[in-house]
Amino acid sequence: QVQLVQSGAEVKKPGASVKVSCKTSGYTFISYHIHWVRQAPGQGLEWMGIIKPSSGIISYAQKFRGRVTMTRDTSTSTVYMELSSLTSEDMAVYYCARERDSWYYFDYWGQGTLVTVSS
């Protein structure tokens, strides 16, 4: 069965970076894109960007450009999202989600990773 399993909760200090992983299984890794979406406490969903594992092509939401890096490891079918220069506003649950090329929707989601930013 399709699974997207994310790494565990993180606690970071302001100014630090966090790297969240999303390990996929149950499907052909390079056939689907991975998106990252975050949700601040009590707030809505926010799209951060997409990585295409087949090519490594990346597109980030303008808000996060310069601060986010998405990478993939095809040998382990894992995608990573690193966010730098963390502030309290980055405290959120971060989700990875799958999209088949040109489907334009997210059919499977990871369980979410809580990132806490606190001094």
Amino acid sitting at position 48: M
- The reply to whether 111 sits near other proteins by the rule CB under 8 A is yes
27 binds other proteins (CB under 8 A): no
Minimum distance, C-beta of residue 46 to other proteins, in the bound complex (Å): 7
User: Does 44 participate in binding other proteins (rule CB under 8 A)?
Assistant: yes
- Each residue 88-107 as x (binds other proteins by CB under 8 A) or -, in order, gives -------x-x-----xxxxx
Minimum CB distance to other proteins smaller for 54 or for 61: 61
Give the closest residue to 55 by CA, choosing from 29, 81, 24: 29
Which of 40, 50, 58, 68: binder of other proteins (CB under 8 A)?
A: 50
Cα distances (Å, whole numbers) of residue 56 to 18, 98, 104: 20, 15, 18
Helix (H, G, I), strand (E, B) or coil at 60: strand
**C-alpha to C-alpha distances, 82 to 41, 61, 100, nearest whole angstrom:** 20, 14, 23
Kindly list the residues in this chain that would bind other proteins in the complex (CB under 8 A): 35, 37, 44-47, 49-50, 59-62, 95, 97, 103-107, 109-112
